[in-house]
């Protein structure tokens, strides 16, 4: 990687975000790590500083002021962000009406608004430098038929994919690559946080990937300039089946297994 700028990774305290941070460190790219949990960030940073310089900024992207403050803090510290990884995310389990609007509003702030705003704030410097990379972590859930439960998750990730693909077309000629990373089932804390660990652990092993592989594939994809990266053959097969099967058949197939990976109560 010829550029000397930092990689800013949101949601870096665990899971795919931490794996992406480790992947960039392995490639010699200095890091700016951000998440809500400062102690987790500090522990990850301590493990990586033997490889690259690491800065930590504690921020909660559910706060509408956080993207602007995060950008301002990188400027204050004199950090040039050449790689932006919009990874922070989570799921809200259950039916749409089982959570209050404040819960959904916070979710949309993290999953949609913060992704768009951070990109808008960091992209101008990338274009001015003639080089930049933006990796937006989406999901296979955006590419298969929707199910009951976790109602806004697939919709938010579908936004991330379309946003990334449009932005990729706009910025490629200016030296900036944008990629939507679409992992499927990944071994991480995601399912512990949303209370689905026991249920999803019953899914067949061939559906799962480890976070380190997902991170490597994602960074490789954004370096190549691929607008979309679906990780793994099984996930690509599921995405293709959803696209080419008759719509009713694809919906029935996904709906029949939805209780294995969605809380619909």
Q: What pLDDT, on the 0 to 100 scale, is given for residue 197?
A: 42
Q: What pLDDT, on the 0 to 100 scale, is given for residue 203?
A: 52
Q: What pLDDT, on the 0 to 100 scale, is given for residue 244?
A: 62
From the list 24, 90, 96, 153, the catalytic residue is 153
Reported pTM: 0.86
DSSP for the chain reads ----PEEEEETTTSHHHHHHHHHHHHTT--EEEEES-HHHHHHHHHHHTTTS-EEEEE--TTSTTHHHHHHHHHHHTT--EEEEEE-------S-GGGS-HHHHHHHHIIIIIHHHHHHHHHHHHHHHHT-EEEEEE--GGGTS---SSSTTHHHHHHHHHHHHHHHHHHHGGGTEEEEEEE--EEESSHHHHTT-HHHHTTS-GGGEEEHHHHHHHHHHHHHHT-SEEE-SHHHHHHHHHHHHS-HHHHHHHHHHHGGGT----
Per-residue pLDDT of the chain (265 residues; tens, 9 = 90+): 555 799 999 999 999 999 999 999 999 999 999 999 999 999 999 999 999 999 999 999 999 999 999 999 999 999 999 999 999 999 999 999 999 999 999 999 999 999 999 999 999 999 999 999 999 999 999 888 778 889 999 999 999 999 999 999 999 999 999 999 999 866 555 544 545 445 545 555 546 689 999 999 999 999 999 999 999 767 776 666 666 655 665 465 555 555 555 565 6
**Every domain of the chain and the residues it spans:** 6-260
Is 244 a known active-site residue?
no
Q: What pLDDT, on the 0 to 100 scale, is given for residue 215?
A: 97
Q: What pLDDT, on the 0 to 100 scale, is given for residue 144?
A: 85
Look at the domain 6-260 and name its fold.
Rossmann fold (3.40.50)
Q: What pLDDT, on the 0 to 100 scale, is given for residue 76?
A: 98
């Amino acid at each position: 990687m010829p550029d000397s700028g930092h990689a800013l990774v949101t949601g870096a305290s665990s899971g795919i975000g931490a794996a992406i941070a480790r992947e960039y460190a392995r490639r010699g790219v200095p890091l700016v790590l951000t998440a809500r949990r400062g102690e987790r960030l500090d522990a990850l940073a301590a493990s990586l500083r033997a490889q690259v310089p690491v800065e930590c900024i504690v921020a909660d992207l559910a706060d509408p002021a956080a993207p602007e403050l995060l950008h301002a803090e990188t400027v204050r510290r004199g950090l040039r962000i050449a790689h932006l990884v919009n990874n922070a995310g989570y799921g809200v389990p259950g039916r749409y009406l089982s959570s209050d609007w404040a819960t959904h509003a916070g979710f949309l702030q993290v999953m949609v608004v913060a992704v768009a705003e951070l990109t808008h704030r960091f992209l101008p410097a990338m274009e001015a430098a003639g080089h930049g990379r933006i990796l937006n972590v989406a999901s296979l859930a955006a590419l298969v038929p929707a199910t009951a439960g976790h109602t806004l998750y697939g919709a938010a990730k579908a936004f991330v994919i379309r946003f990334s693909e449009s932005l990729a077309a706009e910025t490629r000629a200016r030296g900036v690559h944008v990629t939507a990373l679409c992992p499927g089932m990944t071994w991480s804390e995601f399912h512990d946080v949303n209370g689905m660990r026991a249920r999803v652990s019953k899914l067949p092993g061939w559906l799962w990937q480890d976070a380190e592989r997902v991170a490597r594939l994602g960074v490789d994809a954004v370096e190549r300039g691929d607008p979309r990266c679906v990780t793994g053959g099984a996930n690509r097969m599921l995405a293709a089946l959803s696209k080419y099967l008759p719509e009713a058949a694809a919906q029935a197939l996904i709906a029949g297994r939805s209780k294995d990976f969605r809380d619909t109560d």
